[in-house]
Amino acid sequence: MELFTYYRSTSSYRVRLALALKGLDYRAVPVNLLSGEQHLPAYLAVNPQGRVPALRTENGQVLVQSAAIIEYLEQVYPEPALLPADAAARARVRGVAALIGCDVHPLHNVSVLNRLRACGFDEPAVYQWVQHWIGHGLQAVEQLLDDQGWCFGATPGLADVYLVAQLYAAQRFGLELSGYPRIARVAALAAQHPQWQAAHPARQADAPAQ
């Protein structure tokens, strides 16, 4: 498999985490969002939306959108499972993933922040915008999680993948986790697991040298 990815992209990070948890090998193809590689014809031929991630499967099909890619991986490589079997339990897990994937991350991706700047936002206003939406989202997530273990249960799953990737962005934007004990507990669990660390933005080939 080939993953079109950018080290700091939240949604690329989610897919890297899902691949890592399932122990799947892939080749990373970096797409530099800062230099605009996502808008070049070569990449638009892969994904007409000009966004990362995109996954080229073992059969050569190109899939787009992290939510669709991870559900594909879950179906084709079911073990270890990222979703429980019970329908309502799946909905709880997918609900937290969707809350982060729809109501938090899209409000602070590169293109939205650049649009805000073009509309006259200065950097402090951009920063406040991001903090507002991450704060609101994480407050709701905190209330939806279980009281122990990962987001839901003893093994990591889809909600953890979304949450951990989101926390990297949250911390870049200066958010403190002290008000979110359940979320902080999940972050601490992820920090102890080598699989999670291999997917971390700082560990990617396209990340700047430290």
Q: What is the distance between the alpha carbons of residues 144 and 128, in angstroms, rounded to a whole number?
A: 25
Report CA-CA distances (Å) from 38 to 21, 142, 183.
27, 34, 32
Give the shortest CB-119-to-its own copies separation in angstroms: 7
Q: Which residues here bind its own copies, judged by CB under 8 A?
A: 48-51, 57, 59, 61, 63-69, 71-72, 75-76, 87-88, 90-95, 97-99, 101-103, 105-107, 112, 115, 119-121, 125, 129, 132, 140, 143-144
> Least separation, in Å, of the C-beta of 49 and its own copies?
4
Nearest residue (CB) to its own copies, 106 versus 149: 106
- Least Å distance, CB 28 to its own copies, is 19
Nearer to its own copies, 124 or 194 (CB): 124
Calpha distance 1→165 (Å, rounded):
21
DSSP of 54-92, one letter per residue?
A: EEE-TTS-EEESHHHHHHHHHHHS-SS-SS-SSHHHHHH
Q: Closer to its own copies by CB, 80 or 95: give it.
A: 95
Give min distance, CB of 48 to its own copies, in A.
4
- Residues 120 and 179: their CA atoms lie apart, in Å, by 32
